[in-house]
């Protein structure tokens, strides 16, 4: 019996539950219908308010004023929903009227239950739509109508940069994009092209172009944006506080999908402070693209991508030039080669190409083109339009430099020839000697750091660029011409006189006034006789700097020029001269820098003692030099002494070292020694060790104590050349600044594990170290990321037993070349596909050696194969 009762009880319980649910639905139907009716009336009221506003807009005569799509969409949804609600309300009235037992019971319980569910669902829909019916405005100017096409010349050679910009724009993760490059390179032109060719096709963005310019006024930027938006606000001028104005602008922009194009930004602009929403990973409704002449500004503006705009290649430069000159003129076979030379003088700078091209548009004879070429090479400022349209524009970059120190350092670079790779170390020493870094010039190492900072800043400002050689910089030719124009007070005075012997007309004519004005003379050449260019000796009473480099000067400059004691810097390096430096050098009592490197000079006079202010003496590559005893110790102000590749006569090395040791202000020694006693002298002198920046040891045995002493050489950069039969290395600690190591015939070296303490090492050369089996034999552990991280060159020659560079794979992010010769047991290199070899340009060695190498993976093999050359310069065949 129990088995029967239990199932029946369950069934009855469920039936009661269903009946209760239906009963509740039937009982609550009336209340729910009332709620739906009230909510529907509220929604309808809001709908009618917005409908009236929309009808007002539609009657407005301004055709550009468009009802917002989101308003029309909401109104459409309301209209559909209200029709559905009307039907349900009608059904509800009928259901209520059809109830029996005094209206307490429905004749069709199932239908009433379903109706109540529909009422509940529609009530939720009505409330949801009502909550979304809030709009500050129902109409705005159409975004596509707000777009303005910008006037722009035909563009040439910007295709790849345009595509890079487009790719960045379409990346949702990139909100702020910076275009940087030197003045006149075409940044604004590129941005205008992007505006016209691409942004014009995007209908849902408001495009806002604002010229920021130098010394930009934040308030003006805000007003310009409001004008672009065509928003009229009577209260804008009444808002005294900047925060109020920013809040108003932010309120307007945050509801828009916009692209802000900021042209010519010179310093950080706090956009959020102005009321401009900041693009980020969570806000894809806005994009900001700006142009600047400074790479540093890209960082200050929080750019997620920085795109460099570079000068044109030769073929594209000629294409742009031809566009400005016209096809007809260049059809002449005598003019075409001259035109190509004119284009070359512009060095791919679009602004210069356009200005010169326009100036040559009506020049139809070879004679006119030859004259134009002569002017560009010797007096570029005389070319029509160059000063007004090129130099003045580029001068803004000069004016934007932080202070007079930076400006003086920049102008100084113009003393070097066109396309010259300026050694940074040499340039900074000259700056110190000229007094530009006076704030710290008596601490030569601190002054060097300041000089490095200035070079970096000039590069970031696109006023200098990296040279083709390591540790060099160079100037774009047009920038250099502009710098000389500024240095000569906009051609009012001849303060700088520079000649690189590409053209000599400027020196052949003697002009007494100009020579008297000259403060800096710079002569560079191809070993032509400098005396051939003067019929009389120019008088230079204001001369401070004299550079005569790579020139044939069979006489000392005092026999060519009438020079005064004002000279502060004398550089004769690389020039053919007499073997004897004349005694008249003693008359240059204010001389602070003298560079005689790589000249024919072999005898220094005792009158050198008179140079009490001399701070820098460079005697590199002079071979066997006669140096009288007592001369160096008389140079009481000497700070830097360099004799790379130079030996001495008439003075013992130990005596020379003793004289150097006694100089109070000496801070930088770069010297080559060839005796064990000289090495021992260095080892017992804390003064010499503290000043030692570069030491080359040749033709003598080197005690291991020298390497132990590296930790005491605070400013040490370069170690050892031509070491013969060195003693065993021990592990020196803390040689962090070692940059260059060359070991030759170090017969007892088994490894170089101590290099793990030299993370700044840039060049490693090993030659005939017969017992060397592993360069790094230890487990380097956590030091893995620092080891060889700055190494740019690795040269391994005649290392018969070398079998490993390092036991684990490393990054080598800076490595540019690796050369391996006669290392038959080196069968594996410490590279794999994860090694950062992006800078590698050369892998050189024997073909047989390369083919027997074992590889971690195919990607590494393919990378090195693509960079491989044998010693004849031949690449691997595919």
Q: Residue 541 phi/psi, 5° resolution? A: -70, -20
Q: Is 66 helix (H, G, I), strand (E, B) or coil?
A: strand
**Same domain, yes or no: 799 and 833:** yes
CA distance 463 to 465: 7
Least confident interval from 656-660, 696-700, 821-825? 696-700
Secondary structure element (H or E) that encloses residue 408, with its range: helix 404-412
Token digits for 38? 């009230």
Give the per-residue pLDDT at 290.
Answer: 96
Q: Residue 814 — left, alpha, or beta (φ > 0 → left; ψ -120 to 50 → alpha)?
A: alpha
The residue-averaged pLDDT of 617-630 equals 90
Domain termination residue (choose one: 384, 411, 433): 384
For residue 387, what pLDDT is reported?
Answer: 95
Do residues 137 and 34 share a domain?
Answer: yes
Distance from chain centroid for Cα 425: 20
Question: Does a structural domain hold residue 430?
Answer: yes
Confidence of residue 69 (pLDDT cuts 50, 70, 90): confident
What is the rounded average pLDDT of the residues 278-297? 84
| 397 torsion bin: left (phi>0), alpha (psi -120 to 50), beta (else) | alpha
Residue ending a domain, among 454, 489, 524, is 489
Residue 398, pLDDT > 50, answer yes
Both 419 and 483 in one domain: the answer is yes
**137, 141, 851 from 806: Cα distances, Å:** 69, 67, 20
**Six-digit token string for 789:** 């991280």
In this structure, the answer to whether residues 301 and 181 fall within a common structural domain is yes
- Residue 436 has phi, psi (to 5 degrees) of -70, -30
Maximum mean pLDDT: which of 63-77, 143-157, 455-469: 455-469
| Chain length of the chain | 878
Reduced to 3 states (helix: H, G, I; strand: E, B; else coil), residue 400 is coil
Is the pLDDT assigned to residue 9 strictly greater than 60?
Answer: no
pLDDT at residue 161, as a whole number: 95
pLDDT in the model for residue 101: 39
CA nearest to 484, candidates 606, 626, 382, 373: 382
Take residue 548 and report the two structure tokens written for it: 């005569």
CATH of the domain at 345: 1.10.8
Query: What mean pLDDT do residues 525-532 have?
Result: 61
Residue 63 has pLDDT above 60, yes or no: no
Strand, helix or coil for residue 565: coil
Q: Which of 184-188, 554-558, 694-698, 705-709 has the highest mean pLDDT?
A: 184-188
- The residue that leads in pLDDT, 440 or 295, is 295
**Residue 721 in this model has a pLDDT that exceeds 50:** no
| 108 and 132 co-located in one domain | yes
Angle at which helices 444-460 and 404-412 pack, to 10 degrees?
80
Distance CA(695)–CA(444), nearest Å, equals 18
Strand extents, DSSP E, 674-769: 692-697, 718-719, 740-744, 763-767
Cα 128 from Cα 149, distance rounded (Å): 42
Same domain, 276 and 327: no
| Helical (H) or strand (E) element with 603 | none
Residue 577's pLDDT is what? 82
- Which pLDDT band, with edges at 50, 70 and 90, does 291 fall under? very high
Least confident of 4-13, 395-404, 444-453: 4-13
240/704 Cα distance (integer angstroms): 75
Contacts of 24 (CB under 8 A, 6+ apart): none
Structure pTM?
0.77
- pLDDT band, residue 260 (cuts 50/70/90): very high
**Radius of gyration for the chain, computed over Cα atoms and rounded to the nearest angstrom:** 40
Mean pLDDT of all residues in the chain?
84
Cα separation, 5 vs 361, in Å, equals 112
pLDDT of residue 246: 87
Q: Are residues 160 and 94 in the same domain?
A: no
User: How far is the C-alpha of 512 from the C-alpha of 95, rounded, in Å?
Assistant: 116
**What residues make up the domain containing 380?**
314-384
Q: Do residues 180 and 301 share a domain?
A: yes
Is 44 within a domain? yes
pLDDT greater than 90 at residue 185: yes
Flag whether 867 is in a domain. Answer: yes
Residues 215 and 358 in one domain: no
What confidence score (pLDDT) does residue 727 get? Answer: 39
Q: What CATH code is carried by the domain that includes residue 485? A: 1.10.10.10
Closest CA to 748 of 729, 767, 776, 774: 729
My answer on whether 152 and 128 are in the same domain is no
What is the domain-level CATH number for residue 43? 1.20.140
* pLDDT score for 474: 95
783 within some domain? yes
Q: What is the pLDDT of residue 142?
A: 60
- pLDDT band, residue 607 (cuts 50/70/90): very high
**Residue 789 placed within a domain:** yes
Number of domain units in the chain: 5
- The residue-averaged pLDDT of 65-83 equals 84
> Where would I find the H helices in 644-709?
653-661, 676-683, 686-691, 705-708
Whether residue 720 is predicted with pLDDT greater than 60 in this model: the reply is: no
Residue-level pLDDT at 98: 67
Question: Is 53 a member of any domain?
Answer: yes
Segment 324-346 mean pLDDT = 93
The residue ranking higher by pLDDT, 621 or 281, is: 621
Higher pLDDT, 507 or 97: 97
Please enumerate in sequence order all residues whose Cβ is within 8 A of that of 736, keeping only pairs 6 or more positions apart, or say none: 757, 758, 759, 760
Give kind and range of the element (H or E) at residue 227.
helix 218-229
* Residues in CB range of 16: below 8 A, 6 or more apart: none
* Residue 519 within any structural domain of the chain: no
pLDDT at 15: 47
pLDDT at res. 2: 52
**End residue of a domain, out of 384, 414, 431:** 384
Confidence of residue 730 (pLDDT cuts 50, 70, 90): very low
Domain-embedded: residue 260 = yes
Whether residue 451 contacts residue 423, with contact meaning beta carbons closer than 8 Å, is answered with no
> Percentage of the chain surpassing pLDDT 90?
44
Please state whether beta strands 804-806 and 842-844 pair in parallel, antiparallel, or not at all (unpaired). Answer: unpaired
Q: Residue 819: what pLDDT?
A: 94
**Average pLDDT of 776-792?**
79
Residue predicted with more confidence, 875 or 379: 379
CB atoms within 10 A of CB 403: 7
Reply yes or no on whether the pLDDT at 586 is more than 70.
Answer: yes
Give the rounded percent of residues in the chain with a pLDDT score beyond 70.
85
Question: Would the pLDDT of 562 be above 50?
Answer: yes
Q: Are 498 and 406 in contact (CB under 8 A)?
A: no
Distance between CA 687 and CA 683 in Å, rounded?
Answer: 10
Among 258-262, 317-321, 474-478, 505-509, where is mean pLDDT lowest?
505-509
* In a shared domain, residues 109 and 190: no
Residue 59: both structure tokens together: 């009657």
DSSP code for 699: S
- Distance (Å, whole) CA 212 – CA 224: 10
How confident is the model over 314-321, as a mean pLDDT?
95
- From first CA to last CA, the distance across the chain in angstroms is 94
CB distance 620 to 642 below 8 Å: yes
Handedness of CA 151, 154, 160, 161 (dihedral sign): negative
User: Quick one: 323 and 434 in the same domain?
Assistant: no
Q: Is the dihedral of CA 272, 275, 281, 287 positive or negative?
A: negative
> Could you give the C-alpha distances from 175 to 249, 261, 306, in angstroms and in order?
19, 12, 12
Q: What is the crossing angle of helices 336-346 and 366-378, to 10°?
A: 20
Q: For residues 452 and 506, which has the higher predicted lDDT (pLDDT)? A: 452
Structure tokens at 402: 């932080």
């Amino acid at each position: 019996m129990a088995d029967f009762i239990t199932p029946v009880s369950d069934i009855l319980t469920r039936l009661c539950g269903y009946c209760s649910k239906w009963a509740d639905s039937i009982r609550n139907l009336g209340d729910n219908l009332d709620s739906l009716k009230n909510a529907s009336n509220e929604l309808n009221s809001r709908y009618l308010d917005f409908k009236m506003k929309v009808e007002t807009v539609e009657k407005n005569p301004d055709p550009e004023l468009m009802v917002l799509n989101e308003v029309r969409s909401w109104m459409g949804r309301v209209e559909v929903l209200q029709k559905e609600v009307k039907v349900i309300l009608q059904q509800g009235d009928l259901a209520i009227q059809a109830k029996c037992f005094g209206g307490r019971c429905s004749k069709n319980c199932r239908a009433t239950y379903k109706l109540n569910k529909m009422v509940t669902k529609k009530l939720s829909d009505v409330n949801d739509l009502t909550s979304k019916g809030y709009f500050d405005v129902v109409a705005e100017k159409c975004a596509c109508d707000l777009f303005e096409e910008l006037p722009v010349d035909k563009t040439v050679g910007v295709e790849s940069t345009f595509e890079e910009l487009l790719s960045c724009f379409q990346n949702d993760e990139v909100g702020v994009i910076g275009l940087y490059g030197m003045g006149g390179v075409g940044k604004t032109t590129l941005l205008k092209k992007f505006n016209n060719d691409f942004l014009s096709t995007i209908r849902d963005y408001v495009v806002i172009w604002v010229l920021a310019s130098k010394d930009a006024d934040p308030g003006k930027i805000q007003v310009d944006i409001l004008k672009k938006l065509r928003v009229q606000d009577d209260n804008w001028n009444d808002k005294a506080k900047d925060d109020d104005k920013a809040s108003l602008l932010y309120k307007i922009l945050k509801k828009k999908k916009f692209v802000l194009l900021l042209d010519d930004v010179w310093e950080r602009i706090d956009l959020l402070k102005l009321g401009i929403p900041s693009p980020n990973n969570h806000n894809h409704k806005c994009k900001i693209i700006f142009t600047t002449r400074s790479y540093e500004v890209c960082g200050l503006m929080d750019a997620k991508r920085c795109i460099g705009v570079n000068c044109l290649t030769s073929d594209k430069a000629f294409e742009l030039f031809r566009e400005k000159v016209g096809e007809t003129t260049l059809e002449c076979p005598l003019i075409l080669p001259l035109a190509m030379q004119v284009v070359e003088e512009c060095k791919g700078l679009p602004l210069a190409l356009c200005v010169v091209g326009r100036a040559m548009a009506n020049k139809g004879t070879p004679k006119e083109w030859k004259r134009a070429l002569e002017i560009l090479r010797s007096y570029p400022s005389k070319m029509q339009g160059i000063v007004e349209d090129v130099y003045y524009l580029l001068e803004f970059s000069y004016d934007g430099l932080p202070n007079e120190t930076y400006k003086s350092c920049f102008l100084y670079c113009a003393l070097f020839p066109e396309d010259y790779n300026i050694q940074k170390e040499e340039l900074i020493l000259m700056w110190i000697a000229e007094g530009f870094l006076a704030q710290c010039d008596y601490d030569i190492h601190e002054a060097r750091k300041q000089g490095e900072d200035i070079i970096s800043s000039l590069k970031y400002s696109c006023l200098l660029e990296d040279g083709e050689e390591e540790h060099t910089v160079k100037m774009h030719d047009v920038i250099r011409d502009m710098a000389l124009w500024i240095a000569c007070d906009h051609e009012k005075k001849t303060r700088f006189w520079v000649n690189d012997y590409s053209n000599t007309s400027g020196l052949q004519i003697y002009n007494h006034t100009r020579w008297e004005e000259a403060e800096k003379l710079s002569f560079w050449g191809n070993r032509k006789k400098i005396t051939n260019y003067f019929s009389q000796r120019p008088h230079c009473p204001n001369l401070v700097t004299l550079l005569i480099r790579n020139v044939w000067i069979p006489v000392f400059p005092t026999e060519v020029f009438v020079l005064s004691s004002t000279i502060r810097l004398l550089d004769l390096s690389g020039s053919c001269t007499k073997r004897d430096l004349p005694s008249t050098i003693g008359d240059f009592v204010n001389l602070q820098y003298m560079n005689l490197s790589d000249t024919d000079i072999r005898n220094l006079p005792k009158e050198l003692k008179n140079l009490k202010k001399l701070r820098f003496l460079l005697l590199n590559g002079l071979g066997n030099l006669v140096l009288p005893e007592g001369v160096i110790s008389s140079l009481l102000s000497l700070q830097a002494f360099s004799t790379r590749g130079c030996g001495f006569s008439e003075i013992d090395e130990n005596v020379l070292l003793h004289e150097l040791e006694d100089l109070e202000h000496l801070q930088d020694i770069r010297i080559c020694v060839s005796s064990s006693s000289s090495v021992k002298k260095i080892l017992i002198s804390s003064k010499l060790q503290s000043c030692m920046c570069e030491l080359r040891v040749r033709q003598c045995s080197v005690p291991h104590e020298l390497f132990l002493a590296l930790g005491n050489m605070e400013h040490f950069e370069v170690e050892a050349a031509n070491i013969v039969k060195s003693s065993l290395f021990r592990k020196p600690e803390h040689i962090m600044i070692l940059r260059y190591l060359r070991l030759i015939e170090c017969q007892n070296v088994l490894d170089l594990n101590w290099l793990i303490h030299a993370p700044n090492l840039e060049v490693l050369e090993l030659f005939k170290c017969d017992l060397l089996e592993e360069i790094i034999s230890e487990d380097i552990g956590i030091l893995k990321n620092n080891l060889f991280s700055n190494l740019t060159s690795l040269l391994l020659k005649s290392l018969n037993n070398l079998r490993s560079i390092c036991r684990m794979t490393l990054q080598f992010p800076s490595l540019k070349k690796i050369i391996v010769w006669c290392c038959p047991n080196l069968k594996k290199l410490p590279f794999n596909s994860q090694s950062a070899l992006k800078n590698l340009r050369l892998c050189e060695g024997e073909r047989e050696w390369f083919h027997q190498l074992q590889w971690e993976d195919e990607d590494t093999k393919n990378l090195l194969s693509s960079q491989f050359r044998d010693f004849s310069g031949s690449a691997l065949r595919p």
